[in-house]
């Protein structure tokens, strides 16, 4: 009996995939390339087609919940099982996570697309274009998943509203000069609205709307009461209710405001730089009121580790000034504070802190600095 000889050759080979009854070879990844980085394959290779007219939404009004259907046709002689769908952006979602399409039939893929503008240039444009790529994902006989080429859905989006400004600055105010004056932004509608609603995302500020005429509105932002000291940045969501009853989150107005202590320091920080140990340096600090009230300093204290000689107080009609003397008592980078306790005419007590920075030169640094000066 003749012995059968078998020759084994170890070479990189392609993987044979059979999907929808059709053979397809996946090439092995090249060096440094993974399986997902290979060139994508068209869904048509597996009998899946979407009519071109179904990929063009046309011109529509912006909305955050636009619904669209893609009819996917299976022109092959075998059933197709789509394991999932990938979108090119978070603005599109599908209600189905998988889809089974019998041979020769169609099944609908339902999309929900957020058509609201994501960029400032889009928000101010008369019309902006939105392209969304939808990639079907299939599986090989071995269970490996393959993301196919995309179907591109195109929409031309017209704005429902246009804001007179994308931001609103309520300004910087003293804690004693409240209430903060309200400010308004005009809003133009391009369609008939049932109503316009403004919702503030800050608990300290409210937003209201008023109708100027059929297509123009004003959004007004104002404090609810006295606002605590702090820096405020928040959004005002503007929701348009169309004549059909549909609510469209059309825009978000960005608002900023700042409430500060009435007593301020100038400068708010002292930098004495690099100094030799035991050297003394000085600077002047002024305390003043944003509302023009007299400044009464009742006490002052120094951080531990810093030596500051008692200050000399000088008072004029507008501010209270101090001459601060600092003795460089430690080597290296040093930071400390002078804290002034102040009292207003109304009896309100507060504190004003001034940061002091310096670098004390050790003997080696001092000699090097002295040598550099001599060379100059």
Domain positions in the chain are 15-158, 165-260, 263-366
Q: Are 305 and 337 contacting, i.e. CB atoms less than 8 angstroms apart?
A: no
Q: Distance between CA 358 and CA 258 in Å, rounded?
A: 30
Question: CA 369, 370, 371: angle at the middle one, nearest 5?
Answer: 90
HSE (side-chain half, CA atoms, 13 Å) at 37: 7
Tokens 């969304």 belong to: 132
Class of domain 263-366 (CATH, top level): mainly beta
Contact (Cβ atoms closer than 8 angstroms) between residue 254 and residue 233: yes
**In contact, 307 and 329? CB cutoff 8 Å:** yes
* Closest to 191 in 3D by CA, of 175, 210, 214, 212: 214
Least confident piece of the model among 200-214, 244-258, 316-330: 316-330
**Tokens 């005002």, residue?**
236
Q: Would you place residue 254 in the very low, low, confident or very high pLDDT band (cuts 50, 70, 90)?
A: very high
Residues of the chain with pLDDT > 70, as a percent, come to: 81
Q: In the prediction, which pLDDT does 108 show? A: 93
Flag the least confident range among 10-19, 41-50, 245-254: 10-19
* Cβ atoms of residues 46 and 76 within 8 Å: yes
Region 343-354: mean pLDDT is 82
Q: Which pLDDT band holds residue 94 (cuts at 50, 70, 90)? A: confident
Give whichever of 131-140, 225-234, 282-291, 329-338 has the largest mean pLDDT.
225-234
Q: What's the pLDDT score for residue 369?
A: 64
Going by pLDDT thresholds of 50, 70 and 90, the confidence category of residue 231 is: very high
- In sequence order, which residues have a C-beta less than 8 Å from that of residue 277 and are 6 or more positions away? 328, 329, 330, 331, 360, 361, 362, 366
Q: What's the pLDDT score for residue 22?
A: 40
Please report the pLDDT score of residue 35 as a whole number.
Answer: 39
Question: Cβ(297)–Cβ(315) under 8 Å?
Answer: no
Average pLDDT over residues 47-75: 92
- What's the token pair of residue 69? 């259907």
Other beta carbons less than 10 A from residue 236's beta carbon = 22
CB neighbour list of residue 221: distance below 8 Å, 6 or more residues apart: 168, 170, 182, 183, 184, 185, 198, 200, 205, 206, 207, 236, 253, 255
- Average pLDDT of the residues in 102-120: 88
Same fold, 15-158 and 263-366: yes
Summarize the confidence of residues 261-279 as an average pLDDT: 90
Q: How confident is the model at residue 144 (pLDDT cuts 50, 70, 90)?
A: confident
Q: Give the model's confidence band at 244: pLDDT under 50 very low, under 70 low, under 90 confident, else very high.
A: confident
- Ranges 43-52, 296-305, 347-356: which has the least confidence: 296-305
Mean pLDDT score, 325-352: 85
Instruction: Please state which of the ranges 8-12, 169-173, 323-327 shows the lowest mean pLDDT.
Output: 8-12
Mean pLDDT of the chain: 81
Could you give the C-alpha distances from 89 to 131, 134, 213, 236, 303, in angstroms and in order?
9, 9, 38, 25, 53
- The pLDDT, as a whole number, for residue 312 is 57
Q: Which fold has domain 15-158?
A: Immunoglobulin-like (2.60.40)
Please, what sign has the CA dihedral across residues 316, 319, 320, 325? negative
CA 165 to each of CA 240, 253, 257: distance values in angstroms, whole numbers, following the listed order: 17, 8, 16
Measured CA to CA, the distance from residue 185 to residue 252 in angstroms comes to 12
**CATH T-level topology, domain 165-260:** Immunoglobulin-like (2.60.40)
């Amino acid at each position: 009996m003749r012995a059968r000889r078998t020759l084994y050759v170890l070479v990189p080979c392609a993987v044979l995939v059979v999907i929808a009854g059709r053979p397809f070879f996946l090439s092995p990844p090249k060096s440094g390339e993974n399986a997902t980085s290979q060139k994508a394959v068209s869904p048509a290779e597996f009998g899946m087609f979407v009519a071109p007219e179904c990929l063009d939404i046309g011109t529509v009004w912006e909305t955050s919940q636009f619904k669209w259907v893609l009819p996917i046709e299976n022109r092959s002689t075998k059933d197709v099982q789509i394991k999932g769908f990938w979108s090119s952006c978070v603005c599109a979602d599908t209600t189905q996570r998988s889809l089974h399409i019998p041979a020769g039939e169609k099944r609908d893929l339902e999309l929900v697309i957020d058509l609201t503008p994501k960029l400032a240039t889009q928000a101010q444009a008369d019309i902006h274009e939105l392209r969304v790529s939808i990639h079907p994902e299939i599986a090989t006989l071995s269970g490996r998943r393959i993301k196919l080429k995309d179907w591109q859905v195109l929409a031309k989006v017209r704005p429902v509203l246009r804001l007179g400004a994308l931001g609103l600055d309520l300004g910087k105010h003293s804690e004693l000069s409240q209430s903060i004056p309200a400010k308004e932004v005009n809003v133009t509608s391009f369609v008939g609205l049932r109503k316009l609603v403004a919702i503030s995302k800050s608990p300290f500020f409210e937003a209201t709307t008023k109708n100027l005429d059929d297509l123009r509105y004003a959004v007004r932002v104002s404090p609810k009461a006295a606002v605590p000291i702090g820096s405020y940045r928040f959004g005002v969501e503007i929701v348009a209710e169309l004549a059909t009853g549909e609510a469209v989150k059309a825009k978000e107005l960005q608002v900023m405001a700042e409430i500060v202590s009435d007593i301020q320091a100038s400068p708010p920080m002292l930098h004495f730089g690099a100094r030799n140990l035991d050297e003394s340096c000085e600077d002047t600090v002024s305390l003043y009121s944003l509302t023009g009230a007299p400044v009464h300093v009742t006490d002052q204290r120094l951080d531990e580790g810093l030596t500051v000689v008692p200050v000399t107080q000088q008072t004029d009609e507008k501010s209270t000034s101090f001459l601060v003397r600092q003795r460089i008592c430690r080597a290296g980078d040093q930071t400390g504070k002078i804290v002034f306790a102040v009292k207003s005419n109304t009896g309100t007590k507060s504190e004003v802190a001034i940061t002091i920075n310096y670098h004390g030169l050790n003997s080696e640094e001092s000699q090097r600095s002295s040598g550099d000066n001599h060379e100059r």
